[in-house]
Structure 1
Amino acid sequence: AAVVFGAGEGPRFSEFAEPQVVPGHEVVELVAAAIHPVVRSKASGAHYSSAGAFPLIPGVDAVARTADGTLVYTGGVEEPYGTFAERMSVPSRVMAPLPEGADPVAVAAGMNPGMASWMPLTGYLEGHASLGAVLILGATGMAGGLAVQNALAAGASRVIAVGRNPEKLARVAGPSVVTVALAGERESDAASIAAALGGAMPALTLDFLWGGVAEATFAAMATLPGAASEYVEIGGIAGAEARVPSALLRSRPFRLSGSGIGSFDMRRYLTEARRYVGMIAEGRVTVEASGHPLEQVAEAWAGSQDPRPVLTF
């Protein structure tokens, strides 16, 4: 297994006690598991869902092989265990079979970042007949790039993709995608976002940044007509806190919520996870990943995160 022995340390390939099989669980064998940002955060003890106890095996999800040879996407491993191990004990209900021919590395790399936006997108569509314009803050990261693809796959009329890296923004540009390069200055960023929105509130905002970027976005929205809009906070790369102007909440039907571990019904998550596995397998969304043997976890952990590193066994 890959083992983290203390806070602030990277994982090392080492021995660890066998996973315990409890009622409702079964042992599966690792095929592929990705090094996601949330994995790093949980391994450091900094994530809100982390128990902060060491040593531990990192990893939140994986493609694994069951006793009968079926490949499944799975997770739900209880700490101090994780998915970066040759064997893991997972809840039997938390399994989504891979379609025949699906690439395990692509599924392992794409499910966690892709589901980050797929859940709020499909949640929005449960209460609306269609999806209008979608504003994506943080479109240059893997999760944000998949969010652009997901929004278009979900039927968005257009996507406004916001980020700091012009080269990476160019990767997501397209006929239905408007890009906005952030300058890092709140007033100019607010003006740029407002201009890209074209004088109308987006139906849905997916925010992977928060912090000052969210505040610039709120300022931009305050200048627009008061149409209904939903804003979903997903990540906090630009800051853990943001000031929300009260007038924005009172001047229009504006719904502010969050999406992440603990914020949604797991039954719906499992349903959508099975659906999203199929989307990756069918090539409806493109996932970039690089494979690394599990025993090379230290090198993969310290190396480039673009494309997403995936441990294989």
Structure 2
Amino acid sequence: MRAAVVNTPGSTPVCADFPDPEQQPGRSPLRLVGAGLHHVVRGLASGRHYGSDHAYPLVPGVDAVARTGDGRLVYTGLARSPWGTMAEWMVTPFEVELPAGADPLAVAAGMNPAMAGWMPLTTHRKEAGELGTVLVLGATGMSGSLAVRAALSLGAKQVIAAGRDHEALERLRGLGAVTVPLAAAAPDARATALAAAVAEAQPTLVLDLVWGPVAEATFAALGKAGTDDGSASIDYVQIGSLAGTEAALPAALLRSRRIRISGSGAGSVSKAEMISEIPEIIARFADGTFDAPYTDYPLSRVGEAWAHRGHTRAVVVPD
């Protein structure tokens, strides 16, 4: 079959012949409709992601929209290595049928980034019984924007969206979020802006898609003087690290606040839990609550897809 193939760590994929995927009992091959080029796809293909098995050559891609033998459109993923989803054919362990009205390429572009925020939001709501005030760090990227939309759709009392892109922040403000601009801000200025927003509405859940110095500014904003134990507890969930892989955590914050710091991602969230939430997420793409701008590239131009940057997500489609 024709597929995107990564031959060595860090190399750009090429379109080439690759062995057909191994058959699995009870699973029929699916034909590619569109596979999103997500941050995790690049990380796994390069060997930088903690989930990489460092086996080459490989076909990149963690999820896709595909067509079944009887013509149905399904969302799928988790193909067995070294096969990924950027290939003419794939064999996968699950299928979720797309509802009417869902743009299959928007689903391919947006499901993975949407899940990043959706999982900790639904987990927190189950544990706490409701969503209070949610702070999203990195709210102007695709994952962050979808996390803001998810929090609003799941009934958050208030959503604070912090990010760098002014136009994206204005769109989120139009949806009802409180916005905090972080563009080109010095560390002290970031902490001041975040502190002002936090003072207005103390978050009970923080979704951090960037980490690094933005996390450190947020820790400073969440810190407080005194030992008043009347404030609500805070769940701080680390999801992405686009701003840096390290962040200094003040000891005083851990002692002075009822705060729980955890992570959400492959390994900390079970595959069964993720799959169970997929129908609810896809439904929001179908009804227009979620959107995911994309640029599609045929398999033969996968190198161009790999170089794609901007506000849209690259989606690899058949030639």
Residue 120 of structure 1 is matched in structure 2 by 120
Supply the distance in 2 between the matched residues of 1:47 and 1:192 (Cα, whole angstroms).
32
Residue 159 of structure 2 is aligned to residue 154 of structure 1: no
SS in 2 for 1:90: coil
- Check 1:175–1:294 CA distance in 2 against 1; reply closer, same or farther (3 A cut): closer
| 1:82, distance to aligned residue in structure 2 (A) | 0.4
| 1:90, distance to aligned residue in structure 2 (A) | 0.7
Deviations 1:232-269 (A, max 9, x none): 00001111111212222222321111000011132221
Residue 230 of structure 1 is matched in structure 2 by 235
Q: Percent identity?
A: 50
Asked if structure 2 preserves the Cα contact closer than 8 Å seen for 1:151 and 1:159, the reply is yes
| 1:187, distance to aligned residue in structure 2 (A) | 2.1
SS in 2 for 1:159: strand
Supply the distance in 2 between the matched residues of 1:132 and 1:126 (Cα, whole angstroms).
12
Structure 1 residues 89-104: aligned runs within 5 Å: 89-91=91-93, 94-104=94-104
Segment of structure 1 superposing worse, 21-30 or 44-53? 21-30
| 1:28, distance to aligned residue in structure 2 (A) | 1.0
SS in 1 for 2:120: helix
Structure 1 residues 257-272: aligned runs within 5 Å: 257-272=262-277
Asked if structure 1 preserves the Cα contact closer than 8 Å seen for 2:101 and 2:287, the reply is no
Asked if structure 2 preserves the Cα contact closer than 8 Å seen for 1:200 and 1:227, the reply is no
Deviations 1:203-243 (A, max 9, x none): 11000011111111011100377421111000011111112
Residue 250 of structure 2 is matched in structure 1 by 245
SS in 1 for 2:316: strand
- Check 1:200–1:179 CA distance in 2 against 1; reply closer, same or farther (3 A cut): closer
Supply the distance in 2 between the matched residues of 1:284 and 1:199 (Cα, whole angstroms).
27
Supply the distance in 1 between the matched residues of 2:196 and 2:43 (Cα, whole angstroms).
35
Question: Gaps spanning 5+ residues in structure 2: where?
Answer: none
**What's the Cα RMSD here?**
1.6
TM-score of the superposed pair, with normalisation by structure 1: 0.94
Residue 134 of structure 1 is matched in structure 2 by 134
| 1:153, distance to aligned residue in structure 2 (A) | 0.6
| 1:197, distance to aligned residue in structure 2 (A) | 1.8
| 1:23, distance to aligned residue in structure 2 (A) | 2.9
Supply the distance in 2 between the matched residues of 1:172 and 1:309 (Cα, whole angstroms).
22
| 1:199, distance to aligned residue in structure 2 (A) | 4.3
TM-score of the superposed pair, with normalisation by structure 2: 0.93
Asked if structure 2 preserves the Cα contact closer than 8 Å seen for 1:194 and 1:223, the reply is no
Asked if structure 1 preserves the Cα contact closer than 8 Å seen for 2:224 and 2:256, the reply is no
Letter of the 2:31 counterpart: E
Residue 281 of structure 2 is aligned to residue 276 of structure 1: yes
Residue 41 of structure 2 is matched in structure 1 by 39
SS in 1 for 2:174: coil
SS in 1 for 2:29: strand
